[in-house]
Amino acid sequence: MKLSEKTKRKLKYGTSSIIVIIAVIVIVVLVNLLLEQLPLTADITAESLYSITDQTKECLDGLDKDVTIYALFDKTKGETTTGYAEVIKYLDIYDNYSHVDVEYVDLDKNPSFLLDTVGEEMVNDYSAGDYIVKCGERIKHIVSTDMYETELDTSTYQYNTKGINAEACLTGGIIYVMSDEIPVVYVSTGFGEDTLDSFPKVKLNIQNNNFEIKNINLNKDDVPDDAAVIMFINPSSDLSSVALGKLKTWFIKTNGNVMAFMDYTQAGTEYTNFNSLFELFSMRINNDVVTETDDFALLPNHRGFAAVTLSPDDSPLEGLSQKGIYFNDTRSIELLSTTNSYSTSTALVKTSEKSTSTLIKTGEERTGAFTIAASGSYQAGTEVSKLFLTGSSDNLTDEAITTYGNGGGAIVIRALNWMYASENAGDLIPAKEYNTDVISITQSQAITIMVVLMGVIPVAVVAVGLIVWLKRRHL
């Protein structure tokens, strides 16, 4: 049967239209497949909850070795599970860097993985849901709960999740496994002190900033060669003469560093030998307790108060905001005048001019601005040692950090990095708190979304329609 010219035209242009429509569909599918492979997600949360900081970007861009991050759970299940889904967003970001590879391991399907990866001695320390950062033979273990910031609900005494700490954990883990040497913070235990186990959040901050933590009893042990800092937290008795001698020898042999939190006690513990140590750095701790005016006190007539004056530039706390820095039951520090060239001291945090210092033994009261945190240096031979001294450790507690912010933890990290200045040391990467009240986007993000919704999509639809119309208008 012979087809008419009109039928031929319909078939010709109809076929062309079908081909155009199919071509558009294929292009859309291909573009979508391509976009799925590209990191084009936009973080429009109020606090940029799922974006990494410039510090992390610099770290990842500078990697010259391959790092593998193992997430010990099934990714598909994790994407629908609270506690994993948010961390996966971060892992996707890290996985886009050439020297970082993220792998998900289901321990139920691969039960021998942990034994093969961490060895028999460590295998029982790991659980499903944890994370492993590995470079060569170096391994960093990240417990699943460390990925989140929690706070205590005092009405139920339950810890609730308030933010995400994944970036600090992952970047800190990468820095740790990439480092040739890991500085060690030794926490003294020989004089009735607290250990960092009493301050879990601060302990995690220290570990995330590339420091290892060990305990030491200077009454029995010599100062190890790998010691970067020795920390004293709330000693209930004075430093022994034996320990004092070991520390002085350490200062002579190397650049030994000391961090001391000398809490107030009602009994008024005298720190004669500790002050012999501190005097090398032109300072001493007073046997008193400081009270602020109600303008700064947390409660009326209370010995807990917010920081009033922070240190100037070029100091351990340079650039640190007063927000979240609070002191409770703190002693004051006396800076000693000196004319020598081998000892210096600097006030880091001071009270207001109206604060009161009450001497424990006599009850005598003094009014004025008192130093409650200070730093100092001491040069013995060619080596320079450093001291960070404060009159309270209360701002290091989880409760204080939860209530007032991470000022206490930030103080420790700043001081450690000032003492042990290495190329891997950096400022603390803060946890990102949830903010569900407002969702905001940047101007550039808003413009991009507007162009796509109001420009690209409508133009594409009109273009397809125009092509079809042009092809069919003579039918």
User: pLDDT tens, 418-439?
Assistant: 887 644 444 456 666 765 444 4
Dist. CA 475–CA 472, nearest whole Å: 5
Specify burial of residue 126 (Cβ count, 10 A radius: 0-12, 13-18, 19+): buried
Residue 467 is predicted with a pLDDT of 66
The rounded mean pLDDT for the chain is 81
Dist. CA 133–CA 43, nearest whole Å: 25
Say whether 334 sits in a helix, a strand or coil.
Answer: strand
Q: Which two tokens stand for residue 342?
A: 């081998």
Residue 164 is predicted with a pLDDT of 86
- What average pLDDT does the segment 329-343 reach? 87
Q: Is the pLDDT of residue 60 over 80?
A: yes
Reported residue count of the chain is: 475
Residue 378 is predicted with a pLDDT of 92
Q: Which two tokens stand for residue 335?
A: 């800076």
Summarised one tens digit per residue, pLDDT across range 131-158 is: 999 998 888 888 888 888 776 665 665 6
Q: Is the pLDDT of residue 441 over 70?
A: no
Residue 289 is predicted with a pLDDT of 93
CA distances from 314 to 225, 375, 414 (A): 29, 11, 12
Dist. CA 435–CA 450, nearest whole Å: 24
Among 47-61, 77-91, 169-183, the minimum mean pLDDT is found in 47-61
Summarised one tens digit per residue, pLDDT across range 179-237 is: 877 889 999 999 999 999 999 989 988 887 778 999 999 999 999 988 999 999 999 99
Question: 97, 95, 74, 94: which is closest to 84 by C-alpha?
Answer: 74
CA distances from 204 to 143, 211, 424 (A): 11, 10, 17
Contacts with 440 (C-beta within 8 Å, 6 or more apart), sequence order: 44, 46
- What average pLDDT does the segment 331-340 reach? 87
Side-chain-facing half-sphere of 84: CA atoms under 13 Å: 17
Residue type, 475: L
Residue 436 is predicted with a pLDDT of 47
Residue 342 is predicted with a pLDDT of 86
- Domains, the chain, ordered by start: 5-38+441-472 (no CATH), 54-179 (3.40.30.10), 183-423 (3.40.50.880)
- What average pLDDT does the segment 307-325 reach? 74
Q: Is the pLDDT of residue 398 over 50?
A: yes
Residue 16 is predicted with a pLDDT of 60
Contacts with 400 (C-beta within 8 Å, 6 or more apart), sequence order: 326, 328, 394, 408
Dist. CA 337–CA 283, nearest whole Å: 9
Residue 425 is predicted with a pLDDT of 40
Q: Is the pLDDT of residue 14 over 80?
A: no
Dist. CA 406–CA 402, nearest whole Å: 7
Summarised one tens digit per residue, pLDDT across range 253-296 is: 888 899 999 998 877 788 999 999 999 999 999 999 999 888 88
Residue 3 is predicted with a pLDDT of 54
